[in-house]
Amino acid sequence: MTLLVGPILQRAADLCPRSIAASLDQESVTFADAHRGANRVARVLNGIGIAPGDRIASWTDISLGSLEVFFAAARLGAAFAPLNPAYSLCEARDAITYLRPRLLICDPVHVDDAAEVARELDIPLAVTGARGAKVPGLDLDAETQRASGDNLDQPEPAADRVHVIFLTSGSTGRPKGVLLSHYASWMRAVPLGGATRLVAPGGGGDLCPFPLFHMAGWNAVLCAWALLRPIHLVSEPSGERLVAMAEQWRPSTLYCIPALWRRMFDWMPGHDLSSLRYAITGTSLISEELLRDIKERLPGTETTISYGSTEMGIVTTLGDQDLFRKLGSIGRPNPGFDAAIIDGELCLSGETVMSGYFDLPDETAAVFDDGWYKSGDLAVMDDEGYLTITGRRREIIRSGGETIAPGEVEAALAGFPGVRDVGVVGLPDDSWGEVVCAVLVLDPGTPTPSVESIRAYVGTRLANFKHPRAVACVDALPRTAATGQIQRSHLRATLLAGADGT
């Protein structure tokens, strides 16, 4: 058995070539077309010198064409590194500088900024979606249309070769590239008893609101295609769009973070979502109210809560039968995974673990200990083996499934008029898991700024998901005596105690 990413699409194209593989709003592509498209892109990339071990950075909005580039890179043994399309120029420059890619791919939305970065760093540029317009680099679509869709005659990459790099925030705000091998991604995708749910191949498929710069989005693609099922992507994860796509494509599975379920519920009355059989949620604490809403609005669905990370994939599941018996729990480890509480921290092991952080040996060493991956989450385990997250050892904020470095937001807020000092912490939120809170020390006589003015100030320097959603004022920030670093855990605890009136 070949434990590689590329053969997942090859097998689907062989078994059900005319079946829909993926849709994006009103567009769709069959497995055969996706397979041939990936071969064409692979030939073009191979022709311009992309070789095993090279890195390809992709800065585009979500598109079906991204699927072809992803699998083309996998077939060549190159590593695909998707960038958040919401990145500012500065954020993208930092990420691309860090990755040192052999090629940068962009779309017309990002072409001006991408061309500037490509010139600065002397990186070849390829543009997709140009539709015949003149572009500053290689017109990838035009070249692809002229290439053959037949399989390439070249050796398959080794299963331990890195095929994708997902960027996540480090404690300083600088990106960390999570390295995933073909083997790790294959083990995350293929249901060999370790899957969180086992469903029959085919059918209406899976509705995926996750973006394709995120591990969850690509894992959803691989899981669906391994089961010969279509994946239905959305260009905008609004409640209206999700409900419309669920009615159009009749999927059986939907995985939403809590905030997206809330958006959907606002649009559900009068719409038919009876095709759904699996309603999955996770990434943050799930309230009893949300669980009851899912059960009421989607009767007959099996609801599960998943827990995982970019570094490990999905590792625990709370089953439908335990939702209310074990409120607040993330469940027990899935088959193939082990979990332990070591010094209060949830530590995990399994075949899906990352290979490390790209070019960051110290950060990699810090999260591995004697075969365990240290999650950074504080947790407890009850006498039945159910795990509950109680806090986070590191200070990274997780909001809506994204990781946000407080230091990066603090740097963007520096210089705000009337603000003498600023700290950033994450505060609990039922919809987002956490929200970014700007904690300000103001000059005498300065009124408390509004959230809107704070968000406008950071503007395009930060992606929207990093913008503060709450503002608090204090007389002084707690800092360490030796180094003057902000004691964010202490600051967060003070704010929460104040909110509780204690």
- Tokens representing 377 are 């989450």
What is the signed CA dihedral for 169, 171, 173, 177, rounded to 10 degrees?
A: -40
- Tokens representing 391 are 């806090």
Q: What is the pLDDT of residues 355-397, one digit of tens each?
A: 999 999 999 999 999 999 999 888 899 999 999 987 777 778 8
Could you tell me if 28 and 246 are in contact, meaning their C-beta atoms sit under 8 angstroms apart? no
Angle at 284 between CA 492 and CA 356, to 5 degrees: 90
Same fold, 6-276 and 397-499: no
Q: Whose CA is closest to 171, among 405, 499, 497, 413? A: 405
Q: What is the pLDDT of residues 279-328, one digit of tens each?
A: 999 876 688 889 999 999 999 899 999 999 999 999 999 999 999 999 98
With bands split at pLDDT 50, 70 and 90, how would you rate the model's confidence at 483? Answer: low
pLDDT greater than 90 at residue 351? yes
pLDDT greater than 60 at residue 197? no
- Mean pLDDT, rounded, of the chain: 91
pLDDT greater than 60 at residue 501? no
Residue 268 pLDDT:
87
The answer regarding whether domain 397-499 maps to CATH 3.30.300.30 reads: yes
Q: Whose CA is closest to 260, among 209, 213, 309, 318? A: 209
Work out the average pLDDT over 469-495. 85
Task: Say which range, 5-14, 156-165, 172-181, 459-468, has the weakest mean pLDDT.
Answer: 172-181
Q: Which fold does the domain 6-276 belong to in CATH?
A: Rossmann fold (3.40.50)
CA neighbours within 13 Å on the CB side: how many for 46?
Answer: 18
What is the model's pTM?
A: 0.86
**Residue ranges covered by each domain of the chain:** 6-276, 397-499
Q: What is the DSSP string of 27-67?
A: EEEEHHHHHHHHHHHHHHHHHTT--TT-EEEEE--S-THHH
Q: Are strands 313-318 and 302-309 parallel, antiparallel or unpaired?
A: antiparallel
Q: What is the pLDDT of residues 17-76, one digit of tens each?
A: 999 999 998 899 999 999 999 999 999 999 999 999 999 999 999 999 999 999 999 999
Contacts of 256 (CB under 8 A, 6+ apart): 209, 242, 264, 279, 280, 281
